[in-house]
Amino acid sequence: LQDLKGQKHQKAPQIPSQFSPGERFAMKEALKGAIQIPTVSFSPENLNTTALAQFGEYLQTVFPTIFKTSFIQHEVIGEYSHLLTVRGSDPSLQPYMLMAHSDVVPAPEEGWEVPPFSGLERDGFIHGRGTVDNKNSLMAILQALELLLNRNYIPRRSFFIALGHDEEVSGYNGAQKISALLQARGVKLAFIVDEGNFILDGFIPYLKKPFAMIGLSEKGLINLRLEVNMSPGHSSAPPKETTIGILAAAVSRLEQTPMPNMFGSGPLKMTLQQLAHEFPFPANIILSNLWLFGPLVSRYMERNYITNALVRTTVALTMFNAGVKVNVLPSVAQAVVNFRIDSAQTVQEVLDLVKNIVADDRVQFHVLTAVDPLPISPSDSQALGYQLLRQTIQSIFPEVSTVVPGICIGNTDSRHYANLTAGLYRFNPLYMTPQSFRSIHGINEKISVQAYETQVKFLFEFIQNADADQEPAPHQHEL
Ligand SMILES: CC/C=C\C/C=C\C/C=C\C/C=C\C/C=C\C/C=C\CCC(=O)O
Ligand SMILES: N[C@@H](Cc1ccccc1)C(=O)O
Ligand SMILES: [Zn+2]
Ligand SMILES: [Zn+2]
């Protein structure tokens, strides 16, 4: 607390987030270069390690100031992940962490307007895998810091930058190792900001204005392998049912039987209540009185596949394998089902439901991955991370009328850091439309040059806001 006494500190960013034409050119070129390195994660065992190594080198060439600044420590963790420790001038302030990941999902060229690893600029957009998930964040964090350092900015509050390299396939070698290292060092964080939610535009028909949604939690996850075994044999005299038929029927039952609608619990209620006043009559009244209209709203949300994902555990059949030859009865059929668990359920509850739906002893289950839903981070007036995000959103995106808490339907590396802080926030300062949403892990992923510059601006201000005196004063913590 002492640091706040007798000293005059800034309340708002001191260095304006304005960049010269040369800086703006360099920042977009740096992003293009990052996209051109195909840092693809195929599976936990199969990453493009050559590209990941090259990516590490690349960062040091495009952000030279960061890597030669005396108060910034750089460590490589798990061979390809990076941890930067930026030592602030005021050790009494609890540090925070900014996160992003360098790996991307595969991108076969079919369907792309522009080759996915070209990083080409067309019509004001930079195209390619990773432009939204998540090299934009990674590059923007470092770019903002580089620009601040070039203006001789010295942070007051220490912070970490954690850049994972295997987020798309678990984060066990990147984020989890960084987390363990920081825990061993006794680090506790005020909050973390990672990828996840966005400024949402056009997702809700009645809402004309975009709103920012900060993810306070994320859904849980199960990757479940289903397997059926039988003796192989000649296809000319088949039994009544084969491994393929039994398994296909089982996964079809899973697909056809929705998990229970859990509307009414968790952050979704907060989202709707805080968004209610943005809606025209009568939706505003309906959303302000969920005690009465909850069932109506919950049924409405089921109708669209994105809002459906906010009200229940989802079931996605993602892999199916069987058969070796046209005339051989397959002895093994395997499928993988990917569940994203609603905040109000647990792994065990979902597995019990699954067994009841499949209801066939010939189907064996093998849990490949299981993660319970994450706790809900605070969003009250004392929640430093949430308030800093809100403040910076309002400054950089004045046209965004509302900032609301919400849930992240995907999983992020931030889940590995729950041991270091209760404040995990998932937010990308970027506009997202239903169409651009489909480009994530899909085709034609792209970011406008202007949106990327804005993301750099956002981080440039955010880092300074984290150093400003807070109003109202947040809780002070022991380091
Ligand atoms: C009324 C309810 C409020 C809003 C409804 C509209 C849509 C909001 C829901 C989801 C869209 C936003 C987030 C994108 C989801 C997934 C990406 C998250 C993590 C990515 C992790 C990764 O793959 O690397
Ligand atoms: N982030 C990716 C990959 C992932 C899945 C599950 C756990 C961790 C990471 C997703 O949500 O699809
Ligand atoms: Zn992803
Ligand atoms: Zn991601």
- Residue 324, sorted as left (phi over 0), alpha (psi -120 to 50) or beta, turns out to be alpha
Ligand at shortest distance from the CA of 408: 1
Q: Which of 146, 167, 278, 413 is catalytic?
A: 167
Confirm or reject: Cβ of 408 under 6 Å from ligand 2: no
Q: Looking up tokens 């069987």, which residue turns up? A: 322
Residue 385's pLDDT is 98
Q: Where in the chain is the domain with CATH 3.40.630.10?
A: 2-216+375-465
Ligand at shortest distance from the CA of 107: 3
Rounded Cα gap, residues 190 and 420, in angstroms: 9
Confirm or reject: Cβ of 411 under 6 Å from ligand 2: yes
CA of 18 to the centre of ligand 3 (A): 30
All residues at 6 or more sequence positions from 447 whose CB lies less than 8 Å from its CB, including other chains? 31, 125, 126, 131, 132, 136, 430
Report the 10 Å Cβ neighbour count for 74.
Answer: 16
* DSSP H or E run through 395: helix 384-396
Confirm or reject: Cβ of 391 under 6 Å from ligand 1: no
Chunked into runs of 10 residues, the chain (479 residues) has average pLDDT values of 45 86 98 98 96 98 98 98 98 98 97 98 98 98 98 98 97 98 98 98 89 98 98 94 98 98 90 94 95 95 93 97 96 98 97 98 97 97 98 97 95 98 98 95 98 98 93 47
Confirm or reject: Cβ of 221 under 6 Å from ligand 2: yes
List the CATH code of the domain at 2-216+375-465. Answer: 3.40.630.10
Report the 10 Å Cβ neighbour count for 434.
Answer: 12
Rounded Cα gap, residues 130 and 105, in angstroms: 8
Confirm or reject: Cβ of 170 under 6 Å from ligand 1: no
Confirm or reject: Cβ of 197 under 6 Å from ligand 1: yes
| Token code pair at residue 308 | 């459906």
Residue owning the nearest CA to atom 13 of ligand 1: 197
Active site residue 90: no
Rounded Cα gap, residues 358 and 315, in angstroms: 13
In the predicted model, what is the mean pLDDT of the chain? 94
Q: Which of 103, 166, 218, 467 is catalytic?
A: 103
Shortest-distance atom of ligand 2 to CA 415: 8
Q: Where in the chain is the domain with CATH 3.30.70.360?
A: 220-371
All residues at 6 or more sequence positions from 108 whose CB lies less than 8 Å from its CB, including other chains? none
- Rounded to two decimals, the ipTM of the complex is 0.94
Active site residue 167: yes
Report the 10 Å Cβ neighbour count for 175.
Answer: 28
User: In sequence order, what E strands does 376-451 have?
Assistant: 402-408, 424-432, 446-448
**Domain 220-371, second-level architecture:** 2-Layer Sandwich (3.30)
Residue 197's pLDDT is 97
Rounded Cα gap, residues 121 and 124, in angstroms: 6
